[in-house]
Homo-oligomer: A and B are copies of this chain.
Amino acid sequence: MENDTLKALVIDSKSFLEHWQGHRRLTRRVIEAFPEKDLYSFTIGGMRTFSEMVMELIKIAKPGIAGVVSGTWKEIDHMPTPDTKEEILALWDEITESIDTLWPQITSSRFLEKDVAFGLYENYIYGSLLYFVDNEIHHRGQGYVYLRALGITPPPFWER
């Protein structure tokens, strides 16, 4: 018989939004910490540049929040990488704002629904949301190594 405490609420909608936006603020600081040249060119071990990793995060978050709210998933893989750090940051800020605007429209029951994110990944909505944030932490951690390899001190991980 399943323990009833296993059904306890751990994270509610407001806390999850704060969790995600806190990470987005930190990722923004990591993007800022990169010299523009290195953002677009520095790599280790055949991995992508940090600008390409950030574009992956953008291509997930922008249609991701829309899909979570509406159930309609749009691919934006064709979106070109902006030519400057400033433009990447502007795109980042635009999505941050759109997450804040759209989030309260997520209905209470939506988080526990199953859906096929981007028409490809079947998961509960909360699972897809966790994946979006986890993937951001994962790649940002890689950005930290790039910064250290470049002799740049990254922003503190615990500051959100």
The chain A residues found within 8 Å of chain B, CB to CB, are 2-17, 19, 23, 44-47, 104-112, 124, 126-127, 129-131, 134-135, 137-142, 144-151, 157-158
Give the interface SS of chain A, mostly helix, strand, loop or mixed: helix
The 8 Å CB contact of A11, one of B47, B130, B149, B157, is B130
- Cα A89 to Cα B6 with chains together (Å): 27
The 8 Å CB contact of A4, one of B2, B7, B108, B137, is B108
B11 in contact with A6 (CB, 8 Å): no
Q: Which residues of B contact A140 (CB under 8 A)?
A: 138, 141
Q: Which residues of B contact A8 (CB under 8 A)?
A: 12-13, 106-111
A14 in contact with B7 (CB, 8 Å): yes
With both chains docked as a complex, state the minimum distance between the C-beta of A134 and any C-beta of chain B, in angstroms: 5
Known contacts A5-B106, A15-B127; 13 additional CB pairs below 8 A are A5-B13, A5-B105, A5-B108, A7-B13, A8-B110, A9-B108, A10-B11, A10-B16, A11-B11, A11-B16, A45-B147, A137-B137, A141-B144
With both chains docked as a complex, state the minimum distance between the C-beta of A35 and any C-beta of chain B, in angstroms: 15
Q: Which residues of B contact A126 (CB under 8 A)?
A: 10-11, 15
- Cα A11 to Cα B131 with chains together (Å): 13
A12 in contact with B16 (CB, 8 Å): no
B9 in contact with A112 (CB, 8 Å): yes
- Cα A140 to Cα B139 with chains together (Å): 10
